[in-house]
């Protein structure tokens, strides 16, 4: 059995940057529409309705703030031909997949992930899949998983 290491701090920083970018985007949209409203309507323009339309998206963005801590609560291990992923803060999800019937292994890499060498690996099997978030050294891990998958396929043939 071996554990797959997950990038923690870089992923948390990426989530913080993403949340701030979304909030700044909402502020820019609010400001832009306020300027347009004042130009078109003049002094009678009231930004109250506009503000109320921006508050809900801001709350939804701030709701994502729990994802900052998410990487600190992920455990990934491979034991024989079984991959197990446990993640969650308040609600804990445990997902497992036997690697002997895997169809595809894909990696999803963010901009930060390209520079700091981490990716999310998605493993698809017949009728199920497992997502392994924020894996350090993803090319190496993907190759190790594909080697296990290939060895299981050759065992089935013989």
Confidence of residue 158 (pLDDT cuts 50, 70, 90): low
- Distance from C-alpha of 136 to C-alpha of 149, rounded to nearest angstrom: 20
What architecture is domain 2-7+71-157? Answer: Roll (2.30)
- Distance from C-alpha of 147 to C-alpha of 158, rounded to nearest angstrom: 17
Report, as an integer, the average pLDDT of 105-113: 93
Report, as an integer, the average pLDDT of 83-89: 91
**pLDDT higher than threshold 80 for residue 153:** no
**pLDDT higher than threshold 80 for residue 1:** no
Residue by residue, DSSP assigns 52-85 as HHHHHHHHHHHHGGGGGTGGGGEEEEEETTEEEE
**pLDDT higher than threshold 80 for residue 35:** yes
Domain boundaries of the chain, sorted by first residue: 2-7+71-157, 9-68
Rounded to the nearest integer, the mean pLDDT of the chain is 89
Which residues touch 34 (CB under 8 Å, ≥6 apart)? 45, 47, 50
Give percent of the chain above pLDDT 70.
Answer: 98
């Amino acid at each position: 059995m071996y554990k797959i290491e997950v990038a923690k701090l870089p992923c948390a920083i990426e989530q913080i940057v993403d949340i701030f970018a979304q909030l700044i985007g909402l502020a820019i949209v609010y400001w832009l529409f306020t300027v347009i409203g004042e130009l078109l309507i003049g002094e009678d323009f009231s930004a109250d309705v506009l503000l109320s339309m921006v508050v809900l998206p801001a709350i939804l963005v701030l709701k994502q703030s729990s994802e900052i801590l998410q990487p600190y609560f992920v455990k990934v291990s491979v034991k024989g031909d079984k991959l197990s992923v446990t993640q969650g803060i308040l609600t804990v999800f445990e997902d497992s997949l036997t690697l002997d019937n895997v169809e595809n292994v894909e990696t999803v890499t963010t901009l930060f992930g390209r520079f700091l060498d981490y990716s999310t690996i998605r493993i698809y099997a017949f009728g199920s899949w497992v997502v392994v978030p924020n894996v350090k050294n993803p090319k190496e891990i993907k190759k190790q998983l594909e080697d296990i998958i290939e060895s299981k396929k050759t065992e089935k043939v013989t």
